[in-house]
Amino acid sequence: MELKVSDLAVSRGGLVVLEGLDFALAAGHALVLRGPNGIGKTTLLRTLAGLQPAVAGTISAPPESLAYASHSDGLKAALDVTENLRFWASVHGLDAAAVGVALDAMNLRALARRPAANLSAGQKRRLGLARLLVTGRPVWLLDEPTVSLDATSVALFSAVVRGHLAAGGLAVLASHIDLGLPEAEVLDLGPFRPRRARAAHAPAGGFDEAFA
Amino acid sequence: MIALLVRDLRLAVRAGGGFGLGLAFFLLVAVLVPLGVGPEGGTLGRIAPGILWVGALLACLLSLDRLFALDFEDGSLDLLATAPLPLEGAVAAKALAHWLVTGLPLALLSPVLGILLNLPAAGYLWLVVSLLVGTPALSVIGAFGAAVTVGLKRGGLLLSLLVLPLYVPTLIFGAEVVKRGATGAEFATPLALLAAITAGAAALLPFAAAAALRINLR
């Protein structure tokens, strides 16, 4: 399994926000996307996930190999933790054993029968991340996965990601904080802004690398 | 698909799922119309097929805007779109779930409300049959409308405006079946047309709805 992106351009609301993206990610590797708010991290992840078409360029991984975790966790408040996970497991063709593994991995065993409506923000997030484990897909696309997680849960999550990588998986993460994944490569999205936007954002009178 | 169907049914019958909403609305219409029209049995019996069908149609419409909007808001629509299940299948499963919690109970409850409206005795069977045959079209057409308006805030008004014209043929032929059934006239033609609308809508609209959802998710 390999994720290879060549000359990719993505757009949001008809405006190209990132262009000329080229990277390759081999099995067992993680890529952390960095960049200020609004640069297009979410747009890039949604394009990789196949939720929106790319303006230009190619993505090598087939959409069936990608699991996307957005800002919202896709939980149903009226269902309990196990029911939420069991639903996604059966949509992805996995059985109850995978649900048990996911519950243990994100430390949700004690909350297994609690309705999602009564979970705290961090617990919801943990459940949303546990969903990745019941997709059975090799490439994880994670958008700000650690929002509202405490330090213990971030460590738990890092362990889960590391386990996924060790099993030959891949992960692309958009995150502002340190995830405790020193082995992950970091990709700064700043240089991939379209040329005109970069020129407009350059400080007045300063060195403008677009014309260098 | 079965997993999605089971989840939607479970969500509908749990607290806050809105399972009883359409039924309660249907009941209210059938109770209030005789009070407003007056107690003459002849008049009521004549308008009963139309009133019952209009009531069923509006009751279906009532819960439509939640069909995709809830999944859109909590992010599960994104996840469904990236799941192995084709989006067309997801739309069909959700429309079927909608029919099972609105159309089917409406059809089963309708004879009771027929009594309130003094429906002629010969009409009861055809009331249930026409609702069973016609209401699936209401759910599928509604799913298409809900898919088109999914990203909009307060899309309910636009949804009603989009969907109501598409509901008109179903309403006309559905009420016609009951009217003719009640008076002992020949009803095969409107019933066949009603079934044709349902079959056509169920075959084609899931694809249109899935295409609309893909555009709205961008």
Q: Name which of A42, A76, A88, A143 to mutate to probe chain B: the one with the most chain B Cβ atoms within 10 A of its Cβ.
A: A76
Which residues on adjacent β-strands are paired with residue A187? Answer: A33
What is the predicted pLDDT for the residue at A206? 46
CA B37 to chain centre: 25
**Where do runs of H (alpha helix) occur along chain A?**
41-48, 81-91, 96-105, 121-133, 151-166, 195-201
What is the predicted pLDDT for the residue at A107? 86
Q: Which residues of chain B are modeled with pLDDT < 50?
A: none
When the pLDDT of each residue in chain B is averaged and rounded to a whole number, the result is 90
The most distant pair of C-alpha atoms in chain B lies apart, rounded to whole Å, by 58
Question: A208 pLDDT exceeds 90?
Answer: no
Tell me the backbone φ, ψ of residue B187, rounded to 5 degrees.
-125, 5
Chain B closest-CA separation from residue A51 CA (Å): 6
A120 at interface of B, judged by CB pairs closer than 8 A: no
Q: Reduced to 3 states, what is the DSSP secondary structure of residue A111?
A: helix
Say if the Cβ atoms of B3 and A90 lie within 8 Å: yes
Which chain A residue has its CA at the smallest distance from B77's CA?
Answer: A74
A201 at interface of B, judged by CB pairs closer than 8 A: no
Question: A203 pLDDT exceeds 70?
Answer: no
**Where do runs of H (alpha helix) occur along B99-187?**
104-116, 123-148, 156-183
Q: Are B156 and B63 in contact (CB under 8 A)?
A: no
pTM of the prediction?
A: 0.88
Q: Which of the four pLDDT bands, split at 50, 70 and 90, describes residue A205? A: very low
Per CB-CB distance under 8 Å, the chain B contacts of A95 are: none
Amino acid occupying residue B31: V
Tell me the backbone φ, ψ of residue A7, rounded to 5 degrees.
50, 45
